[in-house]
Structure 1
Amino acid sequence: MNSVLQCLSNTRALHDYILRDEYSADINTTTSSMKGALIRAFATLMSDLWKKTDQADVVLTTAPFKSQIQRFAPRFMGYQQQDAQEFLRYLLEGLHEDVNRVTSRPRPITTDIDDSLSTSQQSMEAWKRFLRLENSKFVDLFVGQLKSTLRCTVCGHASVTFDPFWDLSLPIPSKTGQVRLQACFDLFTKEEVLDGDEKPTCAKCQKRQRCTKGFSIQKFPRILVVHLKRFSPQERFRGKLGCAVDFPVSGLDLSPYSAGQGPCKYNLYGVANHSGTLFSGHYTAYCQHPLSGDWYEYNDSRVRPISSRTVSSSEAYVLFFELAGSSHC
Structure 2
Amino acid sequence: MRLASESSMESVGLENMKEAFCDFTAAKQLLDHHLKESQLQVNEAYREDFRQLDKIINENLWYYKSVKDFIAKSARLSFQSNIESRFNSLLNGGNPIIEKSKLIENMTPSGSSPLPLQTTPSNIAIPTPVRPTAIPDRPRSISPSPANDPDKKLLDLYSMNTFIDVDTLMDIYHKFDSSVLLIDYRLSSSFKSDHISLFANIINIDPLSVKPQYIIQDVIDHSLLLSTFKEKETFTNIAKYELVIVIDQSSIHAKLAQDLLRFIAILDEKNHDPKYRLKRKPIILDGGFDEWVYFMNNQATRNHTTQQTLTQSPMAMNNITNFQQNYIHTKPFLSRSPSPTGLFTAFPRSHQTSRFGNGPSKQHLSQPKMLMPISSPLTRTRSPSPSPVFRPAVKVASLTSSSPAQLIPNNTPVLQVSSVNTPFRSASPNKSPILVSGLYNLGNSCYMSASLQCMMGTKELTNYLLQDIYLKFVAKDSKLGSRGKLTKEYQSLAKTMLANTFKHAPTNPKNFKKVVGTINSAFDNCYQQDSAEFLHFILDTIHEDLNWSANKESLPAITDEDEANREILPMRLASTIEWERYLKTDYSTIIEIFAGQYASRLECGNCHKTSTTYIPFNMLSVPVPSLKRELNLYDCIDSFVSSEILTGDNAWKCPRCRESLSTKKKLTITRLPAVLIVHLERFSLSSGPNLTFVKNTSRINIPLKMSMKRYWPQVQDEQERQQLKKLPPRGQEGEWEYSLYGIVRHYGTLDGGHYISEVKKNGTWVKFDDDKVKVSDTMGKKGESDGSAYILFYEKIC
Deviation of residue 256 (structure 1)? Answer: 2.4
What residue is the counterpart of 1:154 in the other structure?
606
Higher deviation after alignment, 128-137 or 35-44: 128-137
User: How many Å separate the matches in 2 of 1:233 and 1:111?
Assistant: 38
Q: Write out aligned runs for 1:74-89 (5 A).
A: 74-89=521-536
The structure with the largest alpha-carbon Rg is 2
What residue is the counterpart of 2:585 in the other structure?
133
User: How many Å separate the matches in 1 of 2:630 and 2:750?
Assistant: 20
Q: Write out aligned runs for 1:1-329 (5 A).
A: 1-31=448-478, 32-56=480-504, 58-111=505-558, 114-117=563-566, 118=569, 119-174=571-626, 178-236=630-688, 237-250=692-705, 252-260=706-714, 263-289=735-761, 292-307=762-777, 308-309=779-780, 311-313=783-785, 314-324=787-797, 326=798
Deviation of residue 177 (structure 1)? Answer: 7.4
- Gap regions ≥5 residues in structure 1: none
Aligned-partner SS, 1:242: coil
Counterparts in 2 of 1:267 and 1:181: CA distance versus 1, 3 Å? same
User: How many Å separate the matches in 1 of 2:565 and 2:530?
Assistant: 42
Deviation of residue 20 (structure 1)? Answer: 2.9
Give CA-to-partner distance per residue, 1:217-268, whole Å, 9 cap, x none: 0001111111111111244442211111111112x12222222456322111
* 1:175/1:243 contact within 8 Å kept: no
Letter in 2 for 1:306: S
User: How many Å separate the matches in 2 of 1:103 and 1:89?
Assistant: 19
Counterparts in 2 of 1:225 and 1:218: CA distance versus 1, 3 Å? same
* 1:41/1:68 contact within 8 Å kept: yes
Give CA-to-partner distance per residue, 1:111-145, whole Å, 9 cap, x none: 35523132344323322332222210001111111
User: How many Å separate the matches in 1 of 2:661 and 2:549?
Assistant: 41
Aligned-partner SS, 1:129: helix
Give CA-to-partner distance per residue, 1:183-202, whole Å, 9 cap, x none: 11111111001223332123
User: How many Å separate the matches in 2 of 1:242 and 1:45?
Assistant: 33
Aligned-partner SS, 2:503: coil
Aligned-partner SS, 2:739: strand
Letter in 2 for 1:238: F
Deviation of residue 178 (structure 1)? Answer: 3.5
* 1:173/1:187 contact within 8 Å kept: yes
Deviation of residue 33 (structure 1)? Answer: 4.5
Letter in 2 for 1:298: F
User: How many Å separate the matches in 2 of 1:240 and 1:304?
Assistant: 28
Deviation of residue 59 (structure 1)? Answer: 1.3
User: How many Å separate the matches in 2 of 1:176 and 1:21?
Assistant: 52
Aligned-partner SS, 1:297: strand
Deviation of residue 206 (structure 1)? Answer: 4.1
Normalized against structure 2, the TM-score is what?
0.39
Aligned-partner SS, 2:565: coil
Letter in 1 for 2:767: E
Deviation of residue 9 (structure 1)? Answer: 0.3
* 1:114/1:122 contact within 8 Å kept: no
Aligned-partner SS, 1:114: helix
Letter in 2 for 1:244: R
Q: Name the structure with the higher strand share.
A: 1
Letter in 2 for 1:303: V
Letter in 2 for 1:300: D
Counterparts in 2 of 1:235 and 1:283: CA distance versus 1, 3 Å? farther
User: How many Å separate the matches in 2 of 1:226 and 1:246?
Assistant: 14
User: How many Å separate the matches in 2 of 1:70 and 1:177?
Assistant: 43
Aligned-partner SS, 2:533: helix
User: How many Å separate the matches in 2 of 1:296 and 1:141?
Assistant: 23
Counterparts in 2 of 1:84 and 1:156: CA distance versus 1, 3 Å? same
% of aligned pairs identical? 29
Letter in 2 for 1:264: W
* 2:622/2:680 contact within 8 Å kept: yes
